Amino acid sequence: MRRDHRPYFVKKLWFRFLKLYIDHFLRPQFDGLGKNPYIVKPWYIEVFGSPVTIGDNITLLASPDKRTRLTVWSDKKDILGIRIGDHVLISPGVRISAAQEITIGDNCMIASSAYITDSDWHGIYDRSLPPDTAYPVKLKNNVWIGDSAIICKGVTIGENSIIGAGAVVSNDIPPNSIAVGNPARVVKQLDPNRKITTRKDRFGDIDLINMNLDLQEKELLKGNTLTGWLRSIIIPMNGD
């Protein structure tokens, strides 16, 4: 389909259904899920173990071919698990696997198919069991992780830094840096005198954003009818 043929009221009903699904089925799986979550295809979000906590205004995306997985796997008590801050974007296919602690700061962006882990999950010599020790991973505020990048155990990525697509990060990355490659190396420093516009800066006023989006939806879907929508599903035509 090139365009959305749904009438406005149908789309509003759909969003209400999504909210009910999230609140009834997905929210209880978290130890904390903040206000105003924007979650696309929530039935393809998989949460295993605990604790997993997420802050306010999360954008959490998944798709049938790229399920998003947040996993805490440990037999130890009182671990910190996965902690995700406010205004974070997590794209389809992201996997975050914690044996002890993975902390993701505010305004971070994680592109499709990235993998973040704080453990090797098997010992070098005893490969029958997980290793005794995990090494915390920390993404500071405003970090941007590129498509299919891998963030390994014990890594801290400094504030505002960018990790290139496909990079394998096995050592700390300082703030305000761009790192690429396998193993990832810093190739550029960001200009400290230039202001970085964060997701909070852009999307902080949720009420205003929702109002503007609603007005745009009304205009975009104006003229759509229930019969026209059903026709586009049953008998699609050129231009649909």
Cβ-contact 124, 160 below 8 angstroms: no
Tokens of 195: 């202001």
Model pLDDT, residue 231: 87
Rounded CA-CA distance 75/144 in Å is: 31
**Peptide bond preceding 183: is omega within 30 degrees of 0, i.e. cis?**
yes
The answer to whether residues 75 and 49 touch, using CB atoms and an 8 Å cutoff, is no
* CA dist list (Å): 52 to 21, 71, 100, 124, 237: 19, 8, 11, 28, 45
Query: What's residue 1's pLDDT?
Result: 55
Q: What is the pLDDT along the chain (240 residues), one digit of tens a residue?
A: 578 888 888 889 999 999 999 999 999 999 999 999 999 999 999 999 999 999 999 999 999 999 999 999 988 888 999 999 999 999 999 999 999 999 999 999 999 999 999 999 988 888 888 888 899 999 999 999 999 999 999 999 999 999 999 999 999 999 999 999 999 999 999 998 899 999 988 877 777 777 877 788 888 888 888 888 888 888 888 877
Helix (H, G, I), strand (E, B) or coil at 76: coil
DSSP, collapsed to helix, strand or coil, labels residue 108 as coil
Tell the CATH topology of 32-196. Answer: UDP N-Acetylglucosamine Acyltransferase; domain 1 (2.160.10)
- Predicted TM-score (pTM) of this structure: 0.90
Domain ranges of the chain: 1-30+205-240, 32-196
- CB-based contacts of 157, cutoff 8 Å, min separation 6: 138, 139, 140, 143, 145, 151, 163, 169, 172, 173
Q: Is 24 a catalytic residue?
A: no
Instruction: Please give the pLDDT value at position 238.
Output: 83
Calculate helix-pair angle for 206-220, 8-21, nearest 10 degrees. 140
**Cβ–Cβ < 8 Å for 141, 156:** no
Tokens (6 digits) for 174? 């300082």
pLDDT of residue 174: 98
Q: Which has the closest alpha carbon to 143: 167, 119, 120?
A: 167
